[in-house]
Amino acid sequence: MKIAFVGKGGSGKTTLSSLFVRHLAATGAPVVAIDADINQHLGAALGLDDAEAAGLPAMGEHLSLIKDHLRGTNPRISSAEKMIKTTPPGEGSRLLRVREDNPVYDACARPVELDGGAVRLMVTGPFTDADLGVACYHSKTGAVELCLNHLVDGRDEYVVVDMTAGSDSFASGMFTRFDITFLVAEPTRKGVSVYRQYKEYARDFGVTLKVVGNKVQGQDDRDFLRDEVGDDLLVTVGHSDWVRAMEKGRPPRFELLEETNGRALRTLHTAVDATYELRDWARYTQQMVHFHLKNAHSWGNERTGDDLAAQVDPGFVLGEEVATPA
């Protein structure tokens, strides 16, 4: 199950992403956590110290390896250099699975020990001084999009992505790669403004969107959010002494998280699992192709010197039953 956390900067989406990852780990579920935010804080929120977080391998630095692995023996892709972030899989492509070991995880993922077990953590890498004036942060998230395009996940397997803040995630088709998107919103006008943008952009793509109210102090805050987002409001979260201790680098055992906040995480988990029966792999593949053709026409063909529409395998539909070549 693929889950995105989005929201305005400062809304607490990274904190809630990390809490949900901890919750899933505590249940014993296999989890891949991905930090795709320009502000790389998910590692710290999962308990890594500054040196450990800084030492995480950046996916963007291993893009050639990722492309070469995913390309496999797909005859429609002449070389890894011809792949762009939206290149869809086809016959002969290698696919990624949550529970397996593979060269992409070996290069880009690191285990993080949490209460209940370890999760795999992957990061896009920070926006550095060398990128200023010459790079767009979305070029770094391209590695994430490419991996999600080639990911086959099943029931009770989880990929949690902490997305970049605001509506910037609509700069690519990555917003359609998820079974459910949790939009973290504070009970303020600015807090719900991103919700309105996201709702408008996602309307035509069948994105399952639920709002998680954060920093909620009372019934008036809950009423405000309900008035603004209606039935999209799934649950609210209030102050947490556990989170405050975690942010100081001294997290207690996860089982000591406040019951009200633990109940909120279980509500998120239930909402995620409910989307499994709604999966439509054909539509998922069609959306992937749609954004690939759009990017190919906009910039990809010119950059690679090829007609990237030829990379589309018209008979291929991604799904759990698709075999991965050796």
- For residue 19, what are the contacts with CB-CB under 8 A and spacing of at least 6? 243, 257, 261, 265
Choice among 64-68, 125-129, 219-223, 316-320 with the minimum mean pLDDT = 125-129
pLDDT computed for residue 251 by the predictor: 86
Which pLDDT band holds residue 141 (cuts at 50, 70, 90)?
Answer: confident
pLDDT computed for residue 168 by the predictor: 66
pLDDT computed for residue 204 by the predictor: 86
List the one residue out of 5, 81, 84 whose CA is nearest residue 265: 5
Task: Give tens-digit pLDDT for 84-110.
Answer: 999 999 999 999 999 999 999 999 999
Confidence check: pLDDT of 218 > 80: yes
Which pLDDT band holds residue 240 (cuts at 50, 70, 90)?
Answer: very high
Which pLDDT band holds residue 169 (cuts at 50, 70, 90)?
Answer: low
| Side-chain-facing half-sphere of 325: CA atoms under 13 Å | 13
pLDDT computed for residue 79 by the predictor: 95
Confidence check: pLDDT of 178 > 70: yes
Would you say the C-alpha torsion 59, 63, 64, 65 has a positive or negative sign? Answer: positive
Please name the CATH architecture into which domain 2-311 falls.
Answer: 3-Layer(aba) Sandwich (3.40)
d(CA 211, CA 30): 25
Task: Give tens-digit pLDDT for 60-89.
Answer: 999 999 999 999 999 999 999 999 999 999
pLDDT computed for residue 137 by the predictor: 47
The residue ranges of every structural domain in the chain are 2-311
d(CA 321, CA 47): 36
pLDDT computed for residue 183 by the predictor: 95
Asked if 212 and 225 count as a contact pair (C-beta separation under 8 A), the reply is no
Task: Give tens-digit pLDDT for 18-32.
Answer: 999 999 999 999 999
Confidence check: pLDDT of 148 > 60: yes
Q: Which secondary-structure segment (H or E) carries 212?
A: strand 209-213
If DSSP codes are grouped into helix, strand and coil, which group holds residue 86? coil
Averaged pLDDT of the chain: 91
Give the mean pLDDT of 289-298. Answer: 95
Give the mean pLDDT of 278-306. Answer: 95
Give the mean pLDDT of 41-54. Answer: 94
Confidence check: pLDDT of 129 > 60: no
Task: Give tens-digit pLDDT for 279-292.
Answer: 999 999 999 999 99
